[in-house]
Amino acid sequence: MASVRDYYCAPDLYDVIYSDISDDAAFWVGCARAAAGPVLELACGNGRLLVPCAAAGADIEGLDLTPAMVESLRGKLAAQRLRAAVAVGDMRDFTRPRRYALIFIAFNSFLHNLTQEDQLATLRGCRQHLAPGGRLMISVFHPDARKLIEHDGTPRVIKTLPQPGGGSAKVTDRGRCDPIAQLVQVARQVEMRDVRGGVTETHEMSFELRYVYLPEMELLLTLAGFSRFAVEARTGYTAGFAPKAALENGDPVVWTAWKD
């Protein structure tokens, strides 16, 4: 998973790329505040969700694979005078002394598990770290065949984000999909432009995801020892992240699995 480390080694750039994504924060803050005990966020990154959870008074801890993201997160927490235990750690193989009322893996981070063994190791580790009655919650996208087919190596501009000072960040992805291994490889280019449209910086990065179908996730949770779970569709990350009655392809889904 070297590409994951590369992708997440530039926290400031990560903040730029996902500056339009914030609709899921209120949902996770609500979950963290409602938890009847300590909360752990895996793959917490530099705290897009963890910081608002901590600011709302949740007893939250975080783990992330990338030291640069953890360092960036510590800076954000300190700037807001918030206290939260955050550390470098791999979701597939972590050990913490506490047992949690809620463990969550948000915003597709679970999809960085690229093999079945990685998926199961992550789920088993979570179950082990849950207090009795505790919940594991995971949000991932439901695969959309139309989008997967578009991952044919053609560069596609996925968004252009306005930047403070009048410039913009243009994000272009070249995706490849292996539908048998369920792997999506994305080569991403981020062009920073000044107020006149001149390119000031160009960044290249890549990452890989293994997408998961609904029945497959049920089987993974069952194999990891969970016997009770549920899934809920939500509107998109820039469309309110609200509950949705009928799941359509491409929607985010939130899985909840309870430790009995």
Partner 1 sequence: MSRAEAKDPEPYARPDLYDLLFSRYTDDLPFWLAAARKPRARGPGSGAVLDLCCGTGRVLVPLLEAGLEAEGVDLYPGMLERARTHAAARGYAPRLIAADMRSYDTGRRYDSILIPFNAFAHNLTTADQLATLSRCLAHLEPGGRLTFDVFSATPAMVANPVAEPVMELETDPEPDGRRFQLWDERRLDLPAQTQHSRIEVRELARDGARTATHRFETSVRWVHRAELELLLRLAGLARWEIWGGMDRGPVTADTAMLFVVAEGPGA
Binding site for partner 1 (CB under 8 A): 116, 142, 145-146, 148-149, 177-182, 213-216, 218-220, 222-223, 247-249
CB 193 within 8 A of CB 166: no
C-alpha dihedral over 127, 138, 106, 100, to 10 degrees? -30
Nearest-approach distance from CB 74 to partner 1, in angstroms: 37
Q: By C-alpha distance, which of 53, 49, 90, 45 is closest to 69?
A: 45
Quick one: 167 or 236, whose CB is closer to partner 1? Answer: 236
Quick one: 153 or 179, whose CB is closer to partner 1? Answer: 179
Instruction: Return all residues near 150 (Cβ < 8 A) that are at least 6 apart.
Output: 156, 175
* Whole-angstrom distance, CA of residue 54 vs CA of residue 39: 10
Q: By C-alpha distance, which of 55, 28, 56 is closest to 42?
A: 28
* Whole-angstrom distance, CA of residue 165 vs CA of residue 82: 28
Quick one: 160 or 222, whose CB is closer to partner 1? Answer: 222
Quick one: 116 or 160, whose CB is closer to partner 1? Answer: 116
Quick one: 79 or 180, whose CB is closer to partner 1? Answer: 180
Q: By C-alpha distance, which of 166, 186, 168, 167 is closest to 176?
A: 186
